[in-house]
Amino acid sequence: MSPPPPPALTQTPPTPVNPRKLLDPVSELDHNQFWIFGYGSLIFKPPSSVAQAVPGYISGYVRRFWQQSHDHRGTPDKPGRVVTLIEREFWKTLGDSEAEFSSTDASNRDARTWGVAYRIKTEDVPAVASALDLREQNGYTIHLVPFYPASSSLIQPIPSIVYIGTPDNPAFAGVEHPDTVARIIHESIGPSGLNKDYLYKLGEALEKLHPESDLDHHVNGLIRRVKELEKQKELEKQKQNGHDANN
């Protein structure tokens, strides 16, 4: 039985921060303390010239594989799926089938989006900025968020830049059933490799990051679904090979 079609957006997406390049928020950040928060591929494929890497989380967002990838894990004709962040208050209006596993309760498994914040070496900020703007060009814009380090020795939040594919960007796929997302990830490939490898590497990175960081129901559920699709494909292949051998 095929999954139901995704529900239409019930509200207008929140107005995003004006799109800007990484070096634009000069007045907001001290370039001697220039931090970038990674919640997707930046966790397992960090930027260059990192002076410090700190595991931790941000609040007020939900991580979802709802961003189309035309240039890395898919193609323009067959885009893959990669993660973006959805503002939690807006996400609650979308009718996500996984909403029952997420709440605003700070103790809930999905209340925090775990990742890694990277402090970039001051002298290399322009080069790293240019590389990341190119890497994240497919629908992502720059936002400033408070990042909370996991270490108890670092109590104060760190102002950090983050790339987000907001719901009004052309590559935003919208609300999709996890079965649909899993099928797309299982089938997609792009210049950066198999879409499923992106998913698996993210899951592995979150598992190693922090005792709480591997409790992302959405990511773990997709891994389980894609691996099941792989098993089904292998069984079909074995069945076909047995059929051919008997003919």
The residues assigned a catalytic role are 136
- Report which residue type is found at 236: E
The span from the CA of 7 to the CA of 67, in Å, is 16
The span from the CA of 208 to the CA of 201, in Å, is 11
The span from the CA of 82 to the CA of 66, in Å, is 7
The span from the CA of 159 to the CA of 209, in Å, is 20
The span from the CA of 219 to the CA of 146, in Å, is 23
